[in-house]
Amino acid sequence: MSIVLLAKSLGLSISTVSRALNGYEDVSAATRERVVLRAKAIGYRPNPSARRLGAGKTLAIGVILPAAGSTGQAVDSMYSSLLGGVVTEIEPAGYHLLASMQAKHDAARETALFENFIRGGWVDGLLIVRTRVHDARLELARAAKMPFVAYGRTESDQPYAWVDTDNEKAFRLATTRLLDLGHRRIALINGPEEYSFAQFRRRGYVRALASRKLKPDPTWMLHGDLTEGAGHELCRSLLIRRPAPTAFVCATDSMAFGAIAACREAGLSIGRDVSVIGYGNSSLSAFCDPPLTTMEHQVFENGRYVGRALLQLLRKEIQPADVHYLEPVVLVPRKSDGPAPQ
């Protein structure tokens, strides 16, 4: 009954107070000021639930966090920074972030959860993270006319809003660097292949090889979870081949650390006998031994971009097709790679 009291204390009608507070033009400047002042004075805060019902808006952006790895017991830590960036932008506009989580790596359950999210009227907009090559979520969101921004691209014949890292360029750069160092047997330790980022990375890797007339060997492009364990396992399986790779490009720093462990177990010196490049420029990468050559990835900033884009989409200031932000990628050279051994 709060706005009622406020209106009463001002001798105005509820509607005038509401319109004054929401900045409508049909309230005189003097009245508006009086209302705003009094509202502040008595500490009036519009009830969000009532507001939502009245305006038909939820003032919330939804996101479904993907579980990391196959155990489903953790969330990829990258997302906390992404969400931090999003919240930083949407919070001042009065929006909040409604987080759900996908318990397991299960596309069907994920779709159901997603549909509930959309259809249930929980949110005004969506953040779709970790896109797949073919991603049913985009179609669902579109069908429900729910504004969204995808973090990562996907295959779609319709325009849609996306923010992505230039994965292809990143892996082209990394692979080219290794080629320039004289490596010819370069393996790719990639993430799960259903995710678009893995496809882009693979493409970058393949193109770098192709530009030197080298034929990429599919058995040297492996996929696994984005964990140290998977990196370790995949690297090991590559090292026992003859001839073995002399260099590894990894989908994340975590995988790179796993690969490094495997190389070390095989008695190889990192940066001399074998080269490893990671991705993400995690805070650790500068402090490990040897410091990891990796690719810089500004997750927090990307989150901010996503947040701004979502707000503009909600206000219909822009169209989905206007949101195509490809984060430039920078290689951070350190000591985990070096000239190819003879």
Partner DNA sequence: TTGCTTGACAAAAACGTTTTTGTCTAGCCC
Partner DNA sequence: GGGCTAGACAAAAACGTTTTTGTCAAGCAA
Q: How far apart are CA 306 and CA 87, in angstroms?
A: 10
Q: Contact region for a second copy (CB under 8 A) — 114-122, 149-157, 182-190, 209-217?
A: 114-122
Q: Is 21 in the site for a second copy (CB under 8 A)?
A: no
Q: Is 75 in the site for a second copy (CB under 8 A)?
A: yes
Encode 285-308: b = buried (16+ Cβ within 10 Å), e = exposed. Answer: beebebbbbbbbbbbeebbbbbbb
The answer to whether 334 and 281 have CB atoms below 8 angstroms apart is no
Q: Is 272 in the site for a second copy (CB under 8 A)?
A: no
Beta strand pairing status for 330-332 and 294-296? Answer: antiparallel
As measured in angstroms, the least distance from the Cβ of 26 to a second copy is: 26
Reference 314, options 154, 104, 93, 23; nearest CA is 93
Contacting residue, 3, 21, 36, 97, with a second copy by CB under 8 A? 97
**Sign, CA torsion 276/281/285/290:** positive
As measured in angstroms, the least distance from the Cβ of 94 to DNA is: 10
Q: How far apart are CA 335 and CA 339, in angstroms?
A: 11
The CB density around residue 155, as the number of other CB atoms within 10 Å, is 12
Chosen from a second copy, DNA, none, partner binding at 74 (C-beta under 5 to 8 Å by type) = a second copy
Considering beta carbons, is residue 98 or 133 the nearer one to a second copy?
Answer: 98
Q: Is 75 helix (H, G, I), strand (E, B) or coil?
A: strand
Q: Is 283 in the site for a second copy (CB under 8 A)?
A: yes
Chosen from DNA, a second copy, none, partner binding at 287 (C-beta under 5 to 8 Å by type) = a second copy
Chosen from a second copy, DNA, none, partner binding at 227 (C-beta under 5 to 8 Å by type) = a second copy
Considering beta carbons, is residue 25 or 157 the nearer one to DNA?
Answer: 25
| Residues constituting the chain | 342
Chosen from DNA, a second copy, none, partner binding at 31 (C-beta under 5 to 8 Å by type) = DNA
Footprint of DNA (CB under 7 A) = 1-4, 11-16, 18-19, 21-22, 26-28, 30-31, 44-47, 50-51, 53-56
As measured in angstroms, the least distance from the Cβ of 198 to a second copy is: 20
Residues near a second copy (CB under 8 A), total: 57
As measured in angstroms, the least distance from the Cβ of 32 to DNA is: 7
Return the HEC string of 158-202: CCCCEEEECHHHHHHHHHHHHHHCCCCCEEEEECCCCEHHHHHHH
Reference 52, options 95, 99, 1; nearest CA is 95
Residue 210, classified by CB atoms within 10 Å of its CB into exposed (0-12), middle (13-18) or buried (19+), is exposed
Chosen from DNA, a second copy, none, partner binding at 218 (C-beta under 5 to 8 Å by type) = none
> Residue 224 is encoded by which pair of tokens?
């696994």
Q: Residues in the site for a second copy, rule: CB under 8 A?
A: 43, 45, 47-50, 52-53, 56, 58, 60, 65, 67, 73-81, 83-84, 87-88, 91, 96-101, 103, 116, 119-122, 227-229, 232, 254, 257-258, 260-261, 264, 283-284, 286-289, 299-300
